[in-house]
Amino acid sequence: MNALPAIAFFEPRIPNNTGNAIRTSAVTGSPLRLIEPLGFDLSEPKLRRAGLDYHDLATVTVHPSLDAMLEEFPEARVFAFTGRGETRYTDVTYEPTDILLFGPEPTGLPDAVLAHPRITAWVRIPMLPGRRSLNLSNSAAIAAYEAARQAGFDGHV
């Protein structure tokens, strides 16, 4: 099975979304990286309930900061998912070492993160005009499954 890019949540605030992302990690094989501070405790019942019994099947790592995470992956390309991006997520050819970076609810990635020198590109998921955003965990699932599709769903049934 080909490895898939990592999903990274920058300072996530809603436990249910992170729980859902744990399920996405478990079923796709995409590692989930959480960048502190978290807006919840990882033992919260809402997070556990949203993740169902997938917690042991997912790869979840908590990083103290964005820079700390990026230091661990010096060669990784980092795609910042933002409504301000002009590149569609389907126009990127994903590599297993990529990091798909998503911002906190409801603000998205702050300007300082979007301007970080390690950001490879700003990427958007198209939606109808006048809509503010997709749900965080849904956005991560859309991106993870595009990467899996590009990899031919290798190892998936």
* Mean per-residue pLDDT, 42-47: 68
Q: What is the pLDDT, as a whole number, of residue 52?
A: 52
How does 109-131 read in b/e, with b if 16+ C-beta sit within 10 Å? beeebbebebbeebbbbeeeeee
* Mean per-residue pLDDT, 109-128: 97
Q: What angle do CA 126, 147, 84 make, to 5 degrees?
A: 30
Pick among 1.10.3720.10, 3.40.1280.10, 3.40.50.300, 3.40.640.10: CATH of 6-150? 3.40.1280.10
How far is residue 151's CA from residue 10's CA, in Å, rounded to a whole number? 25
Global pTM reads: 0.93
Whether the pLDDT of residue 50 is over 60: the answer is no
* Helix residue ranges per DSSP H, 29-129: 45-51, 66-72, 111-114
Domain boundaries, the chain: 6-150
Query: β-strand 78-81 against 60-63: which pairing, if any?
Result: unpaired
Whether the pLDDT of residue 55 is over 80: the answer is no
Q: What is the pLDDT, as a whole number, of residue 106?
A: 83
